[in-house]
Structure 1
Amino acid sequence: MALDTTSPSAPARPDEPLEPLESLESSGPEAAPARTTGTALTPARSALVLFVLCAAQFMVSLDFSVLNVALPALGADLGMSQSALQWAVTAFALPSGGFLLLFGRTGDLFGRRKLFLTGLVVFGAASVLAAFAWNPAVFLTARALQGLGAAAIVPTGMSLLTTTFPEGPQRDRALGISGTLLSLGFTVGMVAGGVMTDTLGWRSTMGLLALFTLIVLPLAPGVLGESRTPQRPRLDVPGAVTVTGGLLALIYSLSSAAQRGFGDVDVPVALVAGVALLVAFVVIESRSAQPLVSLPMLRRPSVAWGNLGGLLTFSLMTTVVFVLTLYLQEVLHLSAAVTGLVFGVQGVLSVLAGMLAPKVIGRIGARRTLWVSLLVQGVLTAALVGVGASSGALLATVAVSLASMAHLGAIIAYGLTVTSGVPDHEQGLATGLVTTTQQVSITVGIPLLGVLATTQGDLLGGVRLVLGIAAALLIAGAALIGVGLRRKV
């Protein structure tokens, strides 16, 4: 189905082609427009662009969860100890989260399409290497390269989407589809990972990612136009080093804490180093003539509060899914197949939410949709606290599925909130912030809260505790964001 190709102010004419990409860029003396090359975007071409960009985002989202249930089989095959298995996840998470801002800005300056295609090549080659890995060192190297490719794909793909489709119904629908697939990818990965590992072996999960790349990569060069700022300002190297190092240290410490706790000295040291580097980054940016991150942009209410909404919805939904997986299998003793079915219902309703969210946003606006969605997600998460020791599967299925619909609404609304009103030459930065929030949120939620469920002695009590904390954070966050977004941009 092609996107609506009418402008927000024009009467609906589904047969009217979009303007050339050049006309979609911002202008003004204070902000030079991003330069985009390409032909007119017809309805058919818009569908192909959206397919390529969304399929790439889905592929990366899939990678975050497809390997989780395969870890025991992977460890047995490659001879990795239980303690070493965390690196199968961490080796991907470190570069995929740590390099997002740097690659987002690099795409702005030197070409988003070019970096997007490079990321696809690196990701696909690394997936093949991971599928055929013959020892732990090769496998972990491949996972790190996958993460590096993902760090290039995600911000540049989002930037290409927001600079291709102008603000209004077109961008709303495009981000709606992208957000749906982003959320769905995580759920599909959990279900598909278990089925494929049981039937084809753990290597098939990496082969699936390589297959996605083979589908997307041949199409991308022909349908994506290049997009970048016309000037080539100097890259803020001190800012790039401190923010990348800070994010890497922060993600490492929180990922390690999920597996080993904070007792090992390297975990708190990395945490302190990460915070210190991020503080240094803020100081550097405030004094830089050509900063990597525009601090005035971070002071925009839409950017600051919008990213807080993204942080809450992503980190807490992944945490809820994690603890419910433990609850269904370890407390209710349901099989992996039945547990997968529960999250399959969640995935179906997420698709429905992705179709409805743009309509809701069109009626009440992205900002209001964001805080209302967080509030609904919080209330439904609070309902999950009522799960019991012998029953609760139905409650879990209904509540988490409806909560995922609100979660999907929050994802789409926060992406629109953060990127709306931002000139095209800074879209890479804005979407880099969006995607950094996404990746860091997925990484930190389980270490910070999910680990509580397994350290209480009583698993059911731990699950209820985590669900209660998540609900409280969502409800409080919704209230704060609702007030904060009342300020003008």
Structure 2
Amino acid sequence: MAIDTTSTTSPNTAPLDNPRLSTRDRLVLFVLCAAQFMVALDFSVLNVALPVLGGDLGMSTSALQWAVTAFALPSGGFLLLFGRVGDLYGRRKLFLTGLALFGAASMLATLAWDPASFLTGRALQGLGAAAIVPTGMSLLTTTFPEGPARDRALGISGTLLSLGFTVGMVAGGVLTDTLGWRSTMGLLTLFALLVLPLAPALLPESRTPERPRLDVPGAITVTAGLLSLIYALSTAADHGFARADVITALAAGVVLITAFVTIESRNASPLVSLPMLRRRTVAWGNLGGLVTFSMMSTVVFTLTLYLQDVLHLSAFQTGLVFGVQGVLSAVAGTFAPRVIGRLGARRTLVASLAGQGVLTAALLGLNAHTWSVWLAVTAVSLASMCHLGAIVSYGLTVTSGVPDAEQGLATGLVTSTQQVGLTIGIPLLGVLATTSDDLLSGAHTVVAIDAVVVLLAAALVAVGLKSRSGAVETEPLGAR
């Protein structure tokens, strides 16, 4: 089914056969991508500042994980709920609300006077991000019609999403060394102040024509379930899986998600349409997205430890390594829509995952000699180019053919996959590097498992999305 954009597409949107964007469409894209970039930046900009922040605010080493977890919990836990609320009551309205909340919360975190005020700001940032990300993606996919225009828009969005995480790591170190840790939160405040005045005049309102009742039981169980799982995985990254609270949260998360699936199967107006989840494009596309995000974030985390603790590079030198990665990711984002135009989203997704897996495996050649930095730069940069191709193609795979009324739901799944992927990779694999007696040996173990997981995902996605015609499958799993 093609997406109906008659009521939501900007009148100046480029035609389907012309990927060039009008001036207004470029401004709309700037606003939406700047907001997504800001959220991606927030995932990593604070990481290198944590030790300085802890000393300034009097937070113990064990408490520093909450600077990350306080953001990750609401940003991942409320995504599906806010995506659906935007569908029903107005995506633009919720996007602007989330943007204003994010800006105010960033200001609170910048001015924080004790751990409680700082963590409150971080939690409110996460809540604002949970509103910005799914509604921003929905506004993008409903503003730009399916075809070259949307391909290009998602290519730019995916590039900035990937760059945001990388730029955050570099900028966090530079800002902390020169202006102090508060400047990392101040940067996010400035981003919000830049985007918020432009958004109301540029963004079109968009919602579903019907007004079904909000699935409250489904919203409660999925939000609580995601919160439990994200808390467990985030805590396990620093303390392992043996702690009682981690085990309890994991069990609660599984029970709540199971209850959510049961509720959705019996609800006339579900938060998540189970038939949508049975679409081959949605199911297998999201699997590809989950793997590419979780495994790439693990590689970046592990390489950061390797470069500084094994090769003894400075924070600035390490930042340069990831700066090269960011530049090449930007190049990949520019060319990704063209590649998708020739190969199709499915083939691009499979090829990108395969490339990411092979280049990750090349990192097994890392050793304690300084020259290994060149292998690290080359392999991680090329792997990131493939990663960017996977980001763009999986987003297109999942949202292509989805009715406009369900775009918020589909993009909510896409962004939930992104957030969960960024959250679970490091706890599941990164801990193998941090707990190993020999960091180099631990890094090799992480890289080997990472590569196998990505290559296996490439094979599964290739088989799962294969159709008789070789085109991207859009029918439900049980349709054949």
| Match of residue 209 from structure 1 | 188
Q: 1:288-437, aligned counterparts within 5 Å?
A: 288-391=267-370, 392-437=372-417
The Cα of 1:127 is off from its aligned counterpart by 0.2
RMSD across aligned positions (CA): 1.2
Check if 1:458 corresponds to 2:458. no
Question: Per the alignment, in what secondary structure is the counterpart of residue 402 of structure 2?
Answer: coil
Q: CA deviation at 1:454?
A: 1.3
Mapping of residues 162-241 of structure 1, within 5 Å: 162-241=141-220
Distance 2:134 2:241 in 1: 31
Structure-2 change in CA distance of 1:37 and 1:368 (3 Å): closer
Amino acid at match of 1:315: S
Matches within 5 A, 1:63-102: 63-102=42-81
Which shifted more, 33-42 or 64-73? 33-42
Q: Deviations over 1:44-84 (max 9, x none)?
A: 10000000000000000000000000000000000000000
User: Deviation at 1:230?
Assistant: 1.5
Cα deviation per residue 1:248-292 (whole Å; 9 max; x = unaligned)?
Answer: 000000000001112220001000100110011011000101100
Answer whether contact 1:37 1:226 (CA < 8 A) is retained.
no
Aligned to 1:242: 221
Any idea what SS the aligned residue of 2:218 has?
helix
Instruction: Say yes or no: does 1:258 pair with 2:224.
Output: no
Partners of 1:445 and 1:48 in 2: CA distance: 34
| Shift in CA distance, 108/155, structure 1 to aligned 2, threshold 3 Å | same
2:40 to 61, 69, 73: 61
Give me the whole-angstrom Cα distance separating, in 1, the residues matched to 2:233 and 2:42.
Answer: 19
| Aligned with residue 101 of structure 2, among 122, 135, 138 | 122
Tell me if the contact between 1:35 and 1:228 (Cα under 8 Å) persists in the aligned partners: no
Measure the CA separation in 2 of the matches of 1:176 and 1:345.
19
In 2, the alpha carbon distance for the partners of 1:166 and 1:230 equals 18
**What per-residue deviation string (whole Å, max 9, x for no partner) do you get for residues 424-458 of structure 1?**
11000000000000001000000000000011211
Tell which deviates more after alignment, 340-349 or 256-265.
256-265
User: Which residue is 1:446 aligned to?
Assistant: 426
AA aligned opposite 1:484: G
Q: Distance in 1 between matches of 2:94 and 2:9?
A: 15
- Give the partner amino acid of 2:429: L
Q: Return the alpha-carbon distance in structure 1 between the equivalents of residues 332 and 261 of structure 2.
A: 37
Letter aligned with residue 145 of structure 2: P
Equivalents in 1 of 2:317, 2:465: separation in Å? 41
Which of 260, 269, 292 is residue 248 of structure 2 equivalent to?
269
Aligned residues: 460
Structure 1 position 36, deviation (Å): 3.6
CA contact (8 A) 1:35 1:229 kept: no
Distance (Å, rounded) in 2 between the aligned partners of 1:486 and 1:296? 19
Query: CA separation in 2, counterparts of 1:463 and 1:91?
Result: 27
2:478 maps to none
**1:291-348, Cα deviation, whole Å (9 max, x unpaired):** 0000000000100000000000000000000000000000000111110000000000
Aligned residues: percent identity?
Answer: 75
| C-alpha distance in structure 2 between counterparts of 1:285 and 1:433, whole Å | 15
TM-score (norm 1): 0.93
What amino acid sits opposite 1:352 in the alignment? V
1:191-244 CA distances to partner (integer Å, 9 max, x unpaired)? 000000000000000000000001100000000010001221100000000100
Q: Which range moved further: 303-312 or 35-44?
A: 35-44
CA contact (8 A) 2:10 2:143 kept: no
Tell me how far 1:176 sits from its aligned partner: 0.1
Asked if structure 2 preserves the Cα contact closer than 8 Å seen for 1:111 and 1:226, the reply is yes
Which residue identity does 1:358 align to in structure 2? Answer: P
**CA distance in 2 between partners of 1:346 and 1:40 (Å):** 35
CA distance in 2, matches of 1:402, 1:39: 38
